[in-house]
Structure 1
Amino acid sequence: MKYEDFLDLKYKPASNDLVCLFRITPDKGFNVKNSAIRVAAESSNGTWSDLKVPKHLLKLKAKVYKINKDLVRIAYPSELFETNNMSQILSSIAGNIFGMKAVKGLRLEDVQWPGKMMKGFKGPNFGIKGVQKLFKISNRPLIATVPKPKVGYYSEEHARIGYDAWTGGVDLLKDDENLSSQKFNPFEKRLKLCMKMRDRAEKETGEKKSYLINITAETNEMLKRLKMVKDYGNEYAMIDTLTAGWAATQTICNKAMEEKIIMHFHRAFHSAFDRNPLHGVSMKVLCSIARLQGADQLHIGGLGKLAGDKEEVRNNYEKCSLNENKEKEDMLAQNWHGMKKTLSVGSGGLHVGILKPLMDLLGTNICIQVGGGIHGHPNGTHDGAVAVRQSIDAYLKCKTLDEYAETHKELKIALEKWGRKVYE
């Protein structure tokens, strides 16, 4: 077995093959082909030294089967993988290969998951339709908000902000990624107080409200917190999936499915390896992994303060929220074989003046999270929430913001403050 054995440009992937699309920048002394076969070898069952091996091992080797400039497709036999073990799968296709000297840059652009492998993962328990059913909403985006600043409030203050937002028209209060159970705002106290405020807001508005509380911690502690979520009558739990880890995420999602808890995935840490366009793992890949593991909701970008252009955000949406996506230059086709759709969450520096481009791009079967664009309203959180709801109503009624603001003072005041500028 030698490196050249991992190249077969006549090969056509089998239906059970896992296919990866890599963007390869060779280092000095290598070309794309020579780098690609080393990636295929290292990520499957090859090594730098020529080996004499039994014939059955040759059947397990990955195959470089298509090279188009710097984009390379590699097919992997499904037998290489433990099909319900995301950590093992990624240790192969996203493991040692990123440190190889043969590549100056290596980016895993996309993964095409075979139906056989997908059966090892349960996918979302609720998905878009389940979430919309809970809230009895199908004709507009769900609205979420995070108290700002994101950490520092006492539990009582946090819950009060939630009440003001809920009664202003927000559907979901959400913890931010770095709020867990600090001394100034411990988990159970925050949960208890927010549930009281949630119940009060529901009674006053006649609308369903819920809370994306962050359970991220050591795995056994997350299981305890998930039980608390259930015991206090909340419908949601949030996990920082990347910092918690894929194995822990799977454990929590499996338990959440048993408890009928909706799972909201925060993507904190993603830009550490998806922002460099020539190296790392794309957000598209992270979206598909999250969907497989059980994300009912996932942040995908939002055209606001965070990096990610329209094409990236749209591609992320297609991986999360469609039954299948078509092939593009840097994206593989994917059929989800009936797996439920993950609700895409647009977030990051959003306010009333820039929501329309997001809805134009993705439609209205999404969740829109607005933080500072609610709490920074000159008249406070409640009116900020009202203004966001009004901006969405204007869109649904095919009214311009300026036209709608003439008879909706909260929206008018918000537009006067932020206009249509994207703040960074």
Structure 2
Amino acid sequence: MPGIKYEDFLDLDYDPADSELVCWFHVEPAADMDMESAASRVASESSNGTWAELQVEGSVTDLSATAFEIDGNTVGVAYPDELFEDGNMAQVLSCIAGNILGMKAVERIRLNDCEWPEKLATSFPGPQFGTDVRNEIFDAGDRPITATVPKPKVGLSTDQHAQIGYEAWTGGIDLLKDDENLTDQTFNPFEDRLAESLARRDQAEEETGEPKSYLVNITADANTMLDRADAVAEQGCEYVMVDVVTTGWAAVQTVRERCEELGLAIHAHRAMHAAFDRVPNHGVSMRTIAQVARLCGVDHIHTGTADLGKLENEDTVGINEWLYSDLYGMNDVLPMASGGLHPGLVPELMDRCGNNIGIQAGGGVHGHPDGTHAGAKALRQAIDATMEGVPLTEYADDNPELATALDKWGTDTPR
């Protein structure tokens, strides 16, 4: 009987097949381990190896992952397609981002990027709408769509929440958005908030002549999310919002299936992502999280502010480019920029990220000295000025809301 050893999972002359999932890891070996030994253990533990040399009847090596490239601390690992269950993201991640993150053989390990083969990628549905929401729902033309979260983000009553939404919508905001931790609390129950906010949405649409919508947070257990998605559709809303990391990818896939039946778009909030991606040499990158989200079928996802806002960011521009990229005909995803944005940051944000994005500002709208309505107008004015190629200070001459925002915040980034 042939033995299966760690070194059987390393072949630096191997050329991955087109059908294989290729993953790129940052690896820092443990003190008593060289890079080749660590790389072979990554491939072994994430496929069909174990710590003991095995004596196996017949061959199972065709199901072994192969560490095929080592470049400094970067390790490439190729996984045979047969290792994965089609359309099961939980199972895929249990392989490529599972036990290997806790192995003693590595001091640090981070899944940085994936190259998805066609068969595996297309076993997932991908987005139903993607960036087409800008025109299919909002008729926004070439400009970014806008969103805002009522502030304070939790604690407002249903009436307060809906009124703030109305003021934001009539000021030019496209989307009212729940905060990630607002679901169905007693101070602002889900069903009441949904009904009252949409009633004010309808009023705002009639007054402005512009389509408006609401990113209502349905995050809960999977069955409750399905019930809430049904309620959203019955009330005539176009969106649901899901905290995709905390609720789990299997639940996201379940919601995606129901949302296709209902014709609803999915706004993905990435709360908890930093538990995986903030440490630059360990965990799972935001790039990979965004890839998983696209495959599972979200239409928007927060990808950061290209270092302009209050949160730590990875390569926002590179992540956005991947979300736009061709992936075997799969729809793309609209990146949402959020976290400490205000009107003075809009030109630089759009210069770095382009127009095919969503811009969400919370404090940068509601913290305007003249209130939410004026703050919404200022954000929209900053976008309009940037689209027209007019400096904000010049545009502010005829737009007092923008002038006031610039006086308050300038172009500084918050912390």
Same fold by TM (over 0.5)? yes
Cα-Cα RMSD: 0.8
Mapped to 2, the partners of 1:171 and 1:206 lie a distance apart of 12
Structure 2 length as normaliser, TM-score?
0.98
1:304 partner letter: G
Q: Is 2:134–2:145's contact at 8 Å kept on the other side of the alignment?
A: no
Match of 2:254 among 245, 251, 256: 251
Following TM superposition, by how much is the alpha carbon of 1:27 offset from its aligned partner in structure 2, in angstroms?
1.1
Give per-residue Cα distances to partners, 1:286-307, cap 9 Å, x unaligned: 0000000011000000130000
Match of 2:187 among 184, 187, 193: 184
Mapped to 1, the partners of 2:166 and 2:309 lie a distance apart of 26
Q: Secondary structure at the match of 1:135?
A: coil
**What are the within-5 Å matches in structure 2 for residues 231-246 of structure 1?**
231-246=234-249
Give per-residue Cα distances to partners, 1:351-393, cap 9 Å, x unaligned: 0111112111111011000000000000000000000000011
Which sits farther off after the overlay, 365-374 or 312-321? 312-321
2:64 partner letter: K
Which sits farther off after the overlay, 160-169 or 55-64? 55-64
Q: Does 1:95 align with 2:98?
A: yes
2:370 partner letter: N
**What are the within-5 Å matches in structure 2 for residues 264-283 of structure 1?**
264-283=267-286
Q: Secondary structure at the match of 2:236?
A: coil
Aligned to 2:373: 382
Following TM superposition, by how much is the alpha carbon of 1:315 offset from its aligned partner in structure 2, in angstroms?
1.6
Runs of 4+ in 1 over 2 A off after TM superposition: none
Mapped to 2, the partners of 1:373 and 1:321 lie a distance apart of 27
Following TM superposition, by how much is the alpha carbon of 1:33 offset from its aligned partner in structure 2, in angstroms?
1.2
Aligned to 1:17: 20
Mapped to 1, the partners of 2:382 and 2:133 lie a distance apart of 25
Mapped to 1, the partners of 2:197 and 2:81 lie a distance apart of 46
Mapped to 1, the partners of 2:340 and 2:215 lie a distance apart of 19
Give per-residue Cα distances to partners, 1:242-285, cap 9 Å, x unaligned: 11011111101111011110000000000011000110000000
Which sits farther off after the overlay, 48-57 or 273-282? 48-57
Aligned to 2:313: 308
Q: Is 1:64–1:75's contact at 8 Å kept on the other side of the alignment?
A: yes
Mapped to 1, the partners of 2:252 and 2:57 lie a distance apart of 37
Mapped to 1, the partners of 2:367 and 2:205 lie a distance apart of 24
Match of 2:335 among 344, 348, 351: 344
Mapped to 1, the partners of 2:135 and 2:266 lie a distance apart of 14
Mapped to 2, the partners of 1:260 and 1:315 lie a distance apart of 30
Following TM superposition, by how much is the alpha carbon of 1:319 offset from its aligned partner in structure 2, in angstroms?
2.1
Give per-residue Cα distances to partners, 1:159-203, cap 9 Å, x unaligned: 000000000000000001000000000000000001100000000
Mapped to 1, the partners of 2:348 and 2:15 lie a distance apart of 40
Match of 1:357 among 338, 348, 351: 348
Mapped to 2, the partners of 1:315 and 1:109 lie a distance apart of 12
Give per-residue Cα distances to partners, 1:75-130, cap 9 Å, x unaligned: 00010010210000000100000110010100000111100001210000011124
Match of 2:384 among 393, 396, 404: 393
Q: Is 2:134–2:141's contact at 8 Å kept on the other side of the alignment?
A: no
2:276 partner letter: F
Following TM superposition, by how much is the alpha carbon of 1:138 offset from its aligned partner in structure 2, in angstroms?
2.2
Match of 2:143 among 122, 140, 144: 140
Q: Is 1:138–1:365's contact at 8 Å kept on the other side of the alignment?
A: no
Q: Which runs of 5+ in 1 are unaligned?
A: 324-335
Aligned to 1:114: 117
Match of 1:226 among 221, 224, 229: 229
Q: Which runs of 5+ in 2 are unaligned?
A: none
Q: Is 1:169–1:386's contact at 8 Å kept on the other side of the alignment?
A: yes
Q: Is 2:122–2:328's contact at 8 Å kept on the other side of the alignment?
A: no
Q: Is 1:305–1:422's contact at 8 Å kept on the other side of the alignment?
A: yes
Mapped to 2, the partners of 1:91 and 1:319 lie a distance apart of 23
1:270 partner letter: H
Mapped to 2, the partners of 1:130 and 1:182 lie a distance apart of 29
Aligned to 2:34: 31
Following TM superposition, by how much is the alpha carbon of 1:321 offset from its aligned partner in structure 2, in angstroms?
2.1
Mapped to 2, the partners of 1:56 and 1:27 lie a distance apart of 31
Aligned to 2:400: 409
Mapped to 1, the partners of 2:134 and 2:388 lie a distance apart of 23
Aligned to 1:263: 266
